[in-house]
Structure 1
Amino acid sequence: MAITIKDIAKRANVSTATVSRVINGIGGYGSDTRNRVLAAAQELGYYKNETATSLVTNKTKTIGIIIPNVSTSFYGNIVTGIEDVAYDFGYSVILTHAGVEGNRLFDSLKLMVNRRVDGIIIVSIYLNKEQQQMIRKLGVPTILLSTISEGNRLPYIKVDDYAASYHATQYLVNQGHQKIGLAGVNQNDQVAGQPRLAGYRDCLEKNQILRDEALIFFGDFSFDAGKRAMDYYMTHELPTALVCASDDTALGIISMAHQYKILVPEQLSVIGYDDTSVAWMTTPPLTTIAQPFYEMGALGCKRLIESVTTNQEIRSEIIPFELMERQTVLQRSNNPKS
């Protein structure tokens, strides 16, 4: 026999209205009452019928996450942050891949519509005007993580990629490096590639270091891009230090440096970008720019749920990065530049 809220009310010694409010998260009760009702529901083996609830409230308590298919490894912490907050608020999540650079975004959005999600989180996909119009027509609250939209018309949460790249380059300058390269960045990527390229170039100019475009090797932020970059430098000119577009690219550099018998950091200093778990697993541990991916996912999910439940507008936010000093950068001077 199915357990009902009447059974829970009797067990918890409260009214059925109170049980309904607790189960649906409406509020208007104390923490002791909430704990008593939830304990009774668990003891009786009660499971809330989400389908029936969604028909009445027009809410499914489901959040859709859309990420691209790429060969980098930082998405795990973002998704974990989203899932943890969603769970705390009683939401479930649906995750879908939109292909390389989001070329299957339309199919992903169609899936979200069919599943009647209450809100959408899009990660690392740059959205043009046409794609933004498509999202607005859905009428579903949407937030972007680690990306932006054309004209910044959709709310986002991300770090300042220009400032982070500038800071990474300045760190190498401060360690006495003058021959600094940039590896693995996608110059056509408006979200991360172009700002990181500009930060690197501007930092060299500000420090009056002659910019050598031959020290830039473009790529797609991947491990293979790092390997290809190292092959390139070995046949052209090897810098004393490299700013890498991602931790994966940095690991590709370090892997090939080992094959070429180039010592890191004694002969080549390397700084990554992201601070994924692989950064401290490599040998030597990678100095890198840390993006707070878990916090980004958690904050994005919280802001989205606030918008779903209160209809308030989501505001864009820039969150801080951090330089993680480990063992892949060599100080070449006792009198670093400031």
Structure 2
Amino acid sequence: MNPTIQDVAKAAKVSIATVSRVLNNQPGFSEKTKARVLQAIEDLGYQPNAVARGLVNRNTGTIGVLFPSVSGLLSAEILFGIEARAHEEGYSVIVCNTAANPEKTLRYIQVLSEKRVDGLIFVSEEVTEDYYKAFERMGVPVVLILTQSYKYPLPYVKVDDAHAAYTATRHLIECGHEKVGMLSGNPEELLAGVGRIEGFKRALLEAGLSYSDSYVETSTSFTFEDGLANFPKLMNRHPDITAIFAASDEIAVGAVSAAYKLGISIPNDVSIIGYDNLKLAETSVPPLTTISQPFQRMGDKATEMVLEMKKIMM
């Protein structure tokens, strides 16, 4: 049976309140008493409950992270950055996979609230009114990654998708390509769909090239399977395309695989540039040119912001 705070108090011959003050660095005891309590804790192997201590010092040493999916390389990179900074600062991380399901997301927010996490990092989903109200009820710092909200005053860490897509497309144009297509995600998706299409379109028009929606093949997500399925559709519709901007590295690698099956040489027949700079880009054959998103740095920065905001609130 695990020792309790009562066991520590009995062994140290002090009150439970004194043990609590020692654990939470509060005044009201001598150095001799502190040494006796700490020795009793060591002898008994007592480990104070983080949540119980958090009721006193308002700090449980935990940060909650909400992902719409934890299976992708993107999530792994972000989580690496979050966990590394959290560990450096003496914090633990609780990860929740919401599957982009509103009911599941709200349930996880409630769970994290009950666990009294010190802050929350919300990744790659639109902030709805229900989510924001739940954040307000928690009363802890919330930082967004790969998303932002124009309606609600929440700090965020993300790149400018439109500018990044513009840069990728501009690179293809500067390489001499005049017939450029795009393999996109969901065109109605505000977080990553709309901006990347807008950047692609702007680069073409500024270069004096024609733009048509038919040169953009859209899908519901940003996966390898999307690239595999949609590359043939785009090439069948516009066989004169010599370069493609893919809205994610996974889409790009799927397109490379589809091209191989069709006997199309990459990059000799069609050049492809991706978006994200995941490890996947390095392992692609041929290696994938891509626009980098610093996911680990994003995770690190978001964690730093949460902890700084927590200090201000204490």
Q: Determine if the TM-score, normalized by the shorter chain, exceeds 0.5.
A: yes
The answer to whether the 8 Å contact 1:72/1:223 transfers is no
State the one-letter code of the partner of 1:110.
Q
Q: Deviation per CA, 1:183-221, whole angstroms, max 9, x where unpaired?
A: 032111111111111001011111110113211000111
Tell me the residue number matched to 1:34.
none
The answer to whether the 8 Å contact 2:70/2:76 transfers is no
State the one-letter code of the partner of 2:78.
I
SS in 2 for 1:151: coil
Tell me the residue number matched to 1:87.
87
The answer to whether the 8 Å contact 1:69/1:101 transfers is no
Range 70-79 or range 53-62, more displaced: 70-79
Q: Closer, same or farther in 2 for the Cα pair 1:110/1:52, shift >3 Å?
A: closer
Which 4+ residue blocks in structure 1 deviate beyond 4 angstroms? Answer: 1-4, 23-26, 43-48
Tell me the residue number matched to 2:216.
216
Q: Closer, same or farther in 2 for the Cα pair 1:206/1:47, shift >3 Å?
A: farther
Q: How does 1:166-185 map to 2 (within 5 A)?
A: 166-185=166-185
Q: CA deviation at 1:163?
A: 0.6
Q: Which runs of 5+ in 1 are unaligned?
A: 8-15, 27-39, 313-338
Q: CA deviation at 1:60?
A: 1.1
Q: Closer, same or farther in 2 for the Cα pair 1:268/1:101, shift >3 Å?
A: farther
Tell me the residue number matched to 1:229.
230
The answer to whether the 8 Å contact 2:54/2:116 transfers is no
The answer to whether the 8 Å contact 2:51/2:116 transfers is no
Tell me the residue number matched to 1:122.
122
SS in 2 for 1:93: strand
Q: How does 1:237-276 map to 2 (within 5 A)?
A: 237-238=238-239, 239-276=241-278
Tell me the residue number matched to 1:54.
54
Q: How does 1:5-16 map to 2 (within 5 A)?
A: none
d(CA) in 2 for partners of 1:231 and 1:99? Answer: 29
Q: Closer, same or farther in 2 for the Cα pair 1:257/1:25, shift >3 Å?
A: farther
Q: CA deviation at 1:235?
A: 2.5
Tell me the residue number matched to 1:36.
none
The answer to whether the 8 Å contact 1:62/1:119 transfers is yes
Q: What percent of counterpart residues are identical? A: 33
Tell me the residue number matched to 2:199.
199
The answer to whether the 8 Å contact 2:24/2:57 transfers is no
Q: CA deviation at 1:151?
A: 2.4
Q: How does 1:1-338 map to 2 (within 5 A)?
A: 48-49=47-48, 50-69=50-69, 72-100=72-100, 104-151=104-151, 153-219=153-219, 220-238=221-239, 239-311=241-313
The answer to whether the 8 Å contact 1:164/1:196 transfers is yes
Normalising by structure 2, we get a TM-score of 0.83
Q: CA deviation at 1:63?
A: 0.5
Range 283-292 or range 147-156, more displaced: 147-156
Q: Closer, same or farther in 2 for the Cα pair 1:237/1:299, shift >3 Å?
A: same
SS in 2 for 1:104: helix
SS in 1 for 2:232: helix
State the one-letter code of the partner of 2:234.
Y
The answer to whether the 8 Å contact 1:271/1:288 transfers is yes
d(CA) in 2 for partners of 1:202 and 1:221? Answer: 21
d(CA) in 2 for partners of 1:294 and 1:195? Answer: 22
- Indicate the structure with greater helix content: 2
SS in 2 for 1:63: strand
d(CA) in 2 for partners of 1:176 and 1:232? Answer: 24
SS in 2 for 1:149: coil
State the one-letter code of the partner of 2:306.
L
Normalising by structure 1, we get a TM-score of 0.77
d(CA) in 2 for partners of 1:234 and 1:181? Answer: 9
State the one-letter code of the partner of 2:190.
Q
Q: Which runs of 5+ in 2 are unaligned?
A: 12-17, 27-38
